[in-house]
Structure 1
Amino acid sequence: MSALIRPMRPRDPHEHHRAATTLELFFDLVSVIAIAAVTAGFHHAISEGHGLEALPKFIFLFLAVWWAWMNLTWFASAFDNGDKLFKILVMVIMGGELLFAGGAGFIFETMDFSYGLLGWVLMRFGMVCLWLRAAHTNPEYRGTALRYAAGITIAQACWCLLYFGTAPGSTAFFLGGAACFLVEWAVPPVAESHRQTPFHRHHIIERYGLLMIISLGELVLSISHGYSALFGDHPSMAAAVVSTAALVIVFAMWEVYFWEPEHLPSRRIKTAVMWGYVHVLIFGATAAIGAAIAASIDVATHHGHTDQATVSLYFGAAFAVWMLALWVVRDRILPLAPAQALCLPVMAALTLLAGIFGAPVWGFAVLAVAMALWRTARPPVAMAEP
C-alpha cells in the first residue's frame, strides 16, 4: 500500500533542479487537443466571415481549457507526491478534459455542453479528491486545502445550475457563465489568503513556458497547412508566402517570450495571482493568432469567404493583446531599461494600427522582427531568488 498511497506532503518551494514530470507533460497532451479544437472553431468562423459572432464562444471555451490546466498545474507544484493514487486521480482529470475536448467542436457550434458538463464534473471530482488528500495529510495547510475543495465544489454547482437553467448560447447563458468564472477565479485568492501553498516558482515558470510552446504549436500547425498548398496540381505560392511570414512571426514571439528567464519574479501571492491569471490573455491571443494565420491561408487559397483586410483585424488585435499582456505580467515588473520597457506597448499600438489598415501577414512579420530586435537588444535581467 505504501507504493499506492503515500502521505501528500508539501514540496520544498526551493527544491533544486525541480522540473516538470513526465506525467505533467502527458497531461499537457490533453491541453494540446483541447486548445486545437477550440482554435479550429474560431479559425473556421473567421474564414467564413463570422469571427466577431464566434469570439465570445472562443473566449468562453478557451478559458475553460486553460482553467482546467491551471488548477492541476498549481496543485502539482505544491503537493505532487507521485504515488499511484495521485496518478489515478490525474488520469480521471485527463479523462474529463478529453471528454470536454472531444465535444469542443459541437460545443463551439451550439454552446450545448451535454456530455461536456460530465467531463467538467469528472475533472472537478479529481481535483476535490486531491485537495482533500492534502487537507488530510497536512494540518498546517488543512484550512487552505479545504477552502479549495469547497470552492471548487461550489463553482461546479454553479456550472450545473447554468446548464440546466439557461438556454445554450443565450445572453443569460453568457452572463451566467461570466458569473461562474468569477466564482472560479475567486477560489485561489480566498484559499491562499488562509495560508499560501508552497508552489515552486521556477517549476511554475517552466510549466507556463510549456503551455506557451503548446499555444505556439497552433501557429506551427497553421503554417504547415499553408505549405501543404504547394503540393498538388495547383500549388499556391500565395499560401507559401503567408506561411513563411507566419514562421517569422512565431519565431519572434518565441524569442521575446523566452528571452527573460525570470518571468515570475516573486512568490508573493498578489504577484503570483496577477502573473498566473493574466497569462491567459497571452495563451488565448497566441491561439487567436494561429486562427488568423489559418484564415489568411484560406483567403490565399480562395477557400475563405472573407478578405485579408478583415482577417488582419483579428490578427492585429490578437497580436496587440499578446504584447500588452506580456508587458503586464513581466516587463512592467522587471527592472528594465526604459527603452526595453517601452518596446511592447509601442509595438502593440503599431500592430493594432496595422490590423486596422488591413496589413498583409508579411507586414505583421516585419513588425514582429522589429519587436524581437528591439526587445532583445540587451541581455536578460539577472535576478536573485526572492
Structure 2
Amino acid sequence: MTTNRVANLLRKRESPQRPIFLELFFDLVYVFALTRIVDELVLDYTRGRVAETLTTSLSENGETLLLFLAIWWIWTQTAWMTSRFDPLQPAIQFVVLATMFGSLLLAVAISGALSETGLLFASTYVAIQVGRTLFFVLTMPGHDLRRINMLALVWFGASAVPWLGGAFAPELTRNLLWLLALAIDYLGGTLGWPVPWLGRSQVSPWAVAGEYLAERYWLLIIVALGETILTAGTAFLHGPIVAERTLALVLSFVTTVLLWRIYFYRAGQILGEAIAASADPGRLGRPAELSHLLMALGIVANSAGSELVLIDPSGHAKPAWVAAMLGGPALYLAGRSVFEHVAFARVSRPRPIGILVLAAIAPVMVGLPPLGVAAAAAAVLLGVAVSDTIRAHGRPLEQASPPR
C-alpha cells in the first residue's frame, strides 16, 4: 500500500471529532449483547439453589462478568481503532462491520459460553482481536501504527492460547484460563502493549482523540440505559398487567431517568473539554475508561434487578436479589464519582453518601417485597439528583477543571 493510501486510512486532526452513523450503527449490536448479559444475570438469580444463597449467586455472576468484560474490551478496542482511523474509508468500514458481525456472534454465544458454545465464543473473540490487528499490520507498511499493531498482535496471540484452550476445558479450568486471557488483554492495553526489545506504544488514544472518545463513551452509556428500558418493557409484556407490575415498570423507568440525569449533569457533558484541558490526556483517559466500565456494570446490574422486580414484585427479596437491586446503583455511583474527579478534580459528597446509604439499608431490605427494594434504590438516586440540582441552582455552569 502506498504512502498516500496509508495516510488516507488515518483520521485527520482537522476532521470533526464526532462519531459518524457507522459507529452508531455498530453500537446497536451492543444493545443485544447487553440484553444477553442481563438475561444471564437474571437466570443466575432465579434458578433453584443459586437464587437462595448470595455466595453461589456471586460465583455465577463472576462467570457472567467474564463474558461482559470480553465484550467490553472488543468495544473499547473498536473505539480506539476508529479514534485513529477514518471510518469513512471503505477499508475501515469493512473492519468495523466485520467486528460488528463478530460481536453479534459473541452475543449469541453468551448463554452457553461456559458450556456448549464456549468454542464459538472464544474463537470469535480471538478472530476479532487477532484478525483486525493483523489487518493493520499488513496495510500500514512504514507507519508507526504498524509497529503498535505488531506489539498488540503479540499480546493478542499470547491471550489466544488460554482463550482457545479454555474452550475445551472443564468449567472451573475454563473460568481460570479465560480469566488469565482477559488479564493479558487488559494488561497489554493498559501498559501500551510492551514487548521486550520492541518497545511499547507511547501515545494514548486519549491524547490523539480525547474529544472523540469522550463522545463514544457517553453514547455507550446511552446504549446501556436503552437496554434497561428494552429489558423492562419486554419483561412487563411477559406477565399479567396488574398494579404491582405496573408500578415496578414505572420505578424501572424512573430509575433509568435518574441514572441518565446523574451521568449527564454535569460531568457527562464536558468530558471532552476536560480531556482537552488536561496537561496529560493519556493519563486522564485511564480513569475515564474505568469510570465508564463501572457505570456500565452498574446499569447492567440495575437492569437485571428491574427484571427481577417485574418477575415477582410482591414476593420476598432474596439476598442475591438485594445485591443486584442496590449494588447496581451503588456501583454506578462509584463509577460516577471517578468520572466526576476526571472532570472536576473533586467528588461531590452526595455520591459517596448515596453509596453508604445503599450499603447500610441492604441488610434491612432482605425479605421485603422487591418492589420496596426498588423504591428504596430509586429514592437514594433521587436524593443524589436533587442534591446536584440544589447545588447548581443560581450558579453559572461549572467548567471543566481536570486534575493537574
Please name the residue that 2:218 is paired with: 209
- Measured against aligned partners, the alpha-carbon deviations of 1:292-348 in whole angstroms (never above 9, x if no partner) come to 11011101277xxx63665223211121111112212x2223336x7x621211111
Deviates more, 1:69-78 or 1:261-270: 261-270
| 1:243 maps to 2:249 | yes
1:200 and 1:348 mapped to 2: Cα distance? Answer: 33
For 2:176, the equivalent position in structure 1 comes to 175
User: Conserved in 1, the CA contact under 8 Å of 2:109 and 2:117?
Assistant: no
Within a 5 Å distance, the mapping from 1:132-143 to structure 2 comes to: 132=137, 135-136=140-141, 138-139=143-144, 141-143=145-147
Counterpart amino acid of 1:262?
Answer: I
| 2:156 aligned residue | 152
Partner of 2:54: none
Which string of whole-angstrom CA distances, capped at 9 and with x for unpartnered residues, describes residues 167-191 of structure 1? 1x21x33222222111101222333
Please state if 1:104 is matched with 2:103: no
Moved more, 376-385 or 255-264: 376-385
RMSD: 2.8
Asked whether the 8 Å contact 1:47–1:299 carries over to 2, the reply is no
> Deviations for 1:139-194, whole angstroms, at most 9, x for unmatched residues?
4x443232123222222233123334x31x21x33222222111101222333753
4+ runs deviating over 6 angstroms: none
Aligned to 1:283: 296
How far, CA to CA, are the matches of 1:343 and 1:194 in structure 2? 39
Query: Distance between the aligned counterparts of 2:142 and 2:386, measured in 1?
Result: 50
Question: Separation in 2 of the partners of 1:281 and 1:67?
Answer: 13
Q: Distance in 1 between matches of 2:138 and 2:211?
A: 24
Whole-Å separation in 2 of the counterparts to 1:216 and 1:56: 22
Residue number in structure 2 paired with 1:27: 26
Q: Alpha carbons of 1:207 and 1:134: their partners in 2 closer, same or farther (altered >3 Å)? A: farther
Alignment of 1:182-261 (within 5 A): 182-191=183-192, 193-196=200-203, 197=205, 199-225=208-234, 227-228=236-237, 235-259=241-265, 260=267, 261=269
Q: 2 CA distance for matches of 1:8 and 1:301?
A: 60
Q: Is the 8 A contact 2:294 2:331 kept in 1?
A: yes
What residue in structure 1 maps to residue 285 of structure 2?
Answer: 272
1:114/1:333 Cα in 2 relative to 1: closer, same or farther (>3 Å)? Answer: closer
Identity %: 17
Q: CA deviation at 1:42?
A: 0.7
What's the counterpart of residue 342 of structure 1?
349
Equivalent in the alignment of 1:299: 312
In 2, the alpha carbon distance for the partners of 1:324 and 1:360 equals 20
Q: Give ranges in structure 1 of 5+ residues lacking alignment.
A: none
Match of 1:161 in 2: 165
Matched, 1:11 2:11: yes
Decide whether the 8 Å contact of 1:226 with 1:239 is kept in 2. no
| Inter-partner Cα distance in structure 2 for 1:111 and 1:258 | 41
Alignment match, 1:79: 85
Once residues 166 and 224 of structure 2 are traced to their aligned partners in structure 1, the CA distance between those partners, rounded to angstroms, is 29
1:322 aligns with 2:332: yes
Alpha-carbon separation, structure 2, partners of 1:354 and 1:34: 32
Amino acid at match of 2:311: D
- How far apart in 2 are the matches of 1:310 and 1:163? 28
Task: Find the aligned partners of 1:80 and 1:126 in 2 and give their Cα distance.
Answer: 18
Alpha-carbon contact 1:323-1:348 (below 8 Å) kept: yes
Which of 52, 59, 64 lines up with 2:65 in the alignment?
59
Check conservation: 2:166, 2:178, Cα contact below 8 A.
Answer: yes
Describe the SS at the equivalent of 1:194.
coil
Give 3-state SS (helix, strand or coil) of 1:334's partner.
helix
Deviates more, 1:252-261 or 1:218-227: 218-227
Deviation, 1:9, is: 4.9
Q: Distance in 2 between matches of 1:97 and 1:186?
A: 22
C-alpha displacement of 1:252: 0.8
Provide TM-score, normalisation by structure 1: 0.85
Deviation at 1:226, TM superposition (A): 5.4
What displacement does 1:99 show? Answer: 1.5
Cα distance between partner residues in 2 of 1:284 and 1:34: 13
Relative to the length of structure 2, the TM-score reads 0.82
User: Aligned-pair distance for 1:362?
Assistant: 1.4
Instruction: Show CA shifts across 1:201-241 (max 9, x none).
Output: 121111111111111123212331454368xxx53210111
Task: Give the Cα–Cα distance (whole angstroms) in 2 for the partners of residues 272 and 101 of structure 1.
Answer: 27
